[in-house]
Amino acid sequence: MQLRKVTAASAAVLALAVAATACGSSDKNDSGSSGGGGKIKVGIKFDQPGLGLKEPSGSFSGFDVDVATYVAGKLGYKPDQIEWVETKSADRENALSRGDVKFIAATYSINDERKQKVDFAGPYLLAHQDLLVKKDSDVSKGTDLNGKKLCSVTGSTSAQNVQKTIAPKANLKEYSGYSECIAALQSGAVDAVTTDDSILAGFASQDKYKDQFKLAGLKLSNENYGVGVKKGDSATLKKINDALTTMVSDGSWQKAVDKNFGPANYKNEPAPKIGQIVK
Ligand code: GLU
């Protein structure tokens, strides 16, 4: 009996200790904390080779990952203090508004509609919407895409541009990620995948797709990639703009370009100037 009481008491103490630890660690995990031993949550894509990719080993690679790692460094966080969070195209504004992540570097184009909900640092890359088709496809410049089966992603500017300007009468299939569109292209379910050339080049160069696909090279839009932050977080915004400026001037930006776009043979545009959007 006595023993049972002691056990119950120590269980209660243990429960309290566990609760206290849980509290402590959630404080530390606060994405708003500035460095020290804490973590920072950063939104990226998980399925875009060359930009934001979760490798089978569990590590992360890509240009956005390198930009985000550099930026997090300037905010006071070492690479092992970064917690990568998948932010799919349609989830990005909400992830920032809710505070799920401190910032997002996920092929995230700056535009007026999104600026109503979030703030953007940058731009840090200029890409262009393009089409990825099968190697033997006759879809090219001048092809009327109305009536064609196109695949893009929900919540992307790519899907929006198709519906508004590129081909309002296209048969547009929307998935939650581009990897699903690539599978649809491979199986013949769609005629083309449309999104930024940077993303399409990354997929086309994958070993498993070698010599299967080609980019049409159409430059259908200007996509100015920004780093998204919560609306009104001007302190973080300024720090990220400073970090991006330094990333270009100290050569780290070019290094990240060579490392991530080199293998895909993606001919990127020169580094944009901070605050200068190419319309
Ligand atoms: N850059 C475009 C966008 O932000 C397309 C790529 C994406 O969906 O992430 O919508």
Centroid of ligand 1 to alpha carbon of 133 (angstroms)? 18
The reply to whether ligand 1 has any atom less than 6 angstroms from the CB of 260 is no
Is the peptide bond prior to 123 cis by the omega test (within 30 degrees of 0)? yes
Cβ contact 52:87 at 8 Å: no
129-215 CATH pick, 3.40.190.10, 3.40.50.1110, 3.40.50.620, 3.30.2130.10: 3.40.190.10
Over the range 220-231, which residues count as b (16 or more CB within 10 Å of their CB) and which as e? bbbbbbbbbbbe
Coil, strand or helix at 62: coil
Q: What is the pLDDT of residues 269-278, one digit of tens each?
A: 999 999 999 9
Provide the pLDDT for residue 278: 98
pLDDT in tens, 197-217: 999 999 999 999 989 999 999
Closest Cα to residue 226, out of 64, 90, 31? 64
Assess whether the C-beta atom of 46 lies below 6 angstroms from ligand 1.
no
Q: Could you tell me where the beta strands, DSSP code E, fall in the chain?
A: 40-44, 47-48, 52-54, 60-61, 82-86, 103-104, 118-127, 129-134, 149-153, 171-175, 192-196, 213-215, 223-230
Strand order in the sheet with 60-61: 47-48, 52-54, 60-61
Q: Quick check: CB of 153 below 6 Å from ligand 1?
A: yes
Task: In whole angstroms, give the CA distance from residue 151 to residue 131.
Answer: 10
Average pLDDT, the chain: 91
pLDDT by residue (tens digit) across 170-195?
A: 999 999 999 999 999 999 999 999 99
Judge contact between 71 and 162, C-beta under 8 A: no
In short, whether 196's Cβ falls inside 6 Å of ligand 1 is yes
Domain ranges of the chain: 40-127+222-264, 129-215
The torsion region of residue 275 among left (phi > 0), alpha (psi -120 to 50) and beta comes to: left
State residue 88's pLDDT score: 98
Q: Residues 53-92: pLDDT tens digits?
A: 999 999 999 999 999 999 999 999 999 999 999 999 999 9
Answer whether 157 contacts ligand 1 (Cβ < 6 A): yes
Residue nearest to atom 6 of ligand 1 (CA): 107
> Confidence band (pLDDT; 50, 70, 90) for 37?
confident
The atom of ligand 1 lying closest to the CA of 107 is: 9
**What is the pLDDT, as a whole number, of residue 34?**
53
> Is the CB–ligand 1 distance for residue 107 below 6 Å?
yes
| 175 C-beta closer than 6 A to ligand 1 | no
State which of 45, 199, 200, 277 you would mutate to test the pocket of ligand 1, scoring each by most atoms of that ligand within 8 A of its C-beta: 199
Dig out the tokens for 80 from the structure.
């092992």
Q: How far is the CA of 74 from the centre of ligand 1 (A)?
A: 25
Q: Is 236 in the pocket of ligand 1 (CB under 6 A)?
A: no
Tell which atom from ligand 1 comes closest to the C-alpha of 109.
4
What angle, rounded to 10 degrees, do the helices at 234-249 and 252-261 form? 80
pLDDT at 35: 52
Q: Is the pTM of this model over 0.85?
A: yes
> Do 129-215 and 40-127+222-264 have the same topology in CATH?
yes
Please tell us whether the domain made up of 40-127+222-264 is placed in CATH 3.90.1150.10.
no
Q: Is 241 in the pocket of ligand 1 (CB under 6 A)?
A: no
> Mind listing the pLDDT tens digit for each residue in 95-135?
999 999 999 999 999 999 999 999 999 999 999 999 999 99
